[in-house]
Amino acid sequence: MSLRKHFKLADDIITHLNTVVRSIPDPFIGSRYTGLVSIAAVTVYELCIKEIFCEFSQKKDKAFGIFVENYFKRISGRIKYQIICEDYLKKFGDKYYKKFKERSNSAEEICLRDYGNSIFNSYNNIIEWRNQFAHEGTIPTTATYEEVTKSYEIGKNIVIILKEIMKV
């Protein structure tokens, strides 16, 4: 399955909310949508990451694929960059771990240089904002609606890089 299909779930929500949030004159009320966007974004990231590892494993070996599928059934928000590297990729071998670190570090340099944004911070922030909203019932106070949607877009690069390096 294409990542685009998963991304479309959150992209459609954001496209709709963009028109809604722009029409709200009170920024405080508009900020209430940040939690919703962060939940949609992290859900999509989780679906993508789970699919990437499961498809890769199925192609390697059917039994391995079943094991990985069961392992990732309870992924539940455990997708921060460091967790992907240390908890997931290292289990698949140094080859994938090193390739992911190399590619993501390179993308980070380009994004910082060309756009002044950190892929790592954007990706991890959206997860942190989702956790605040979902587990603490708090709206991210340090992020505007625009920052949350921008972080989601930038953070997609982590998922895309993971997909690109997990080749059989």
What would the pLDDT profile of 76-110 be if each residue is shown by its tens digit? 779 999 999 999 999 999 999 999 999 999 999 99
Amino acid at 26: D
Which among 98, 83, 91, 90 is positioned nearest to 46, based on CA atoms?
83
Q: Residues 23-82: pLDDT tens digits?
A: 998 888 888 899 999 999 999 999 999 999 999 999 999 999 999 999 998 887 799 999
* CA dist., res. 25 & res. 97, Å (int): 46
Q: Can you list the pairs that 108-115 forms with residues at least 24 positions away whose Cβ atoms lie under 8 Å? A: 111/154, 111/157
Looking at the predicted structure, is the pLDDT value of residue 13 above 70? yes
Q: What is the mean pLDDT of residues 131-156?
A: 90
Q: What is the pLDDT of residue 138?
A: 85
The ranges assigned to domains in the chain are 3-165
Amino acid at 112: L
Looking at the predicted structure, is the pLDDT value of residue 139 above 90? no
**Average predicted confidence (pLDDT) for the chain:** 93
Q: What is the pLDDT of residue 1?
A: 61
With bands split at pLDDT 50, 70 and 90, how would you rate the model's confidence at 150?
very high
Q: What is the pLDDT of residue 146?
A: 92
User: Is residue 141 helix, strand or coil?
Assistant: coil
